[in-house]
Amino acid sequence: MAHVERPLSPHLQIYRWPITMVLSILHRITGIGLGLGTLLLTWWLAAAAAGPDYYAFVHGVIASWLGRLILFGFTWALFLHLCNGIRHLFWDMGYGYRIPVANRTARWALIASVLLTLLAWILAYALR
């Protein structure tokens, strides 16, 4: 039996992830993040129902720099999941399967999620 030389898999420094693959992975990660963020929202609502002292504690945690960073990430996850979900709706209708279109809409979803997140936070601080 002769030994057959098989090609090696591309190394991580050579292989370039397609934007559609990155967005697919991010869609799954943001879905998990939104589930965890919903637990944070539930904790905040339960604290509001528990009384002013516990609510003040939870508000202090959420208003800290780490809490705001988590909320910022939650907001971005929400908008990325929304924008990518809209892409999936168009796919369900049979549009946007061609590779150039899929790549373009993936970039649009990423850009739109960042812009919507920044807009939401700017409006939140402006309307305080």
Residue type, 84: N
Structure tokens at 121: 């936070």
Give domain status of residue 3, yes or no: no
> Is residue 28 situated within a structural domain?
yes
User: Does 13 fall in a domain?
Assistant: no
Domain that holds residue 78: 19-126
| Tens digits of residue pLDDT in 74-104 | 999 999 999 999 999 999 999 999 999 999 9
Cβ atoms of residues 6 and 92 within 8 Å? no
Binned at pLDDT 50, 70 and 90, residue 5 comes out as: confident
In a domain, 65, yes or no: yes
Average pLDDT score, the chain:
93
What's the CA gap between 126 and 120, in Å, rounded? 10
Q: Tell me, what CATH number does 50's domain have?
A: 1.20.1300.10
Tokens of 27: 């869609």
Q: For the whole model, what pTM was predicted? A: 0.85
- Let me know the angle formed at the C-alpha of 98 by 93 and 100, rounded to the nearest 5 degrees: 130
Measured CA to CA, the distance from residue 100 to residue 91 in angstroms comes to 14
Residue 11 falls inside a structural domain = no
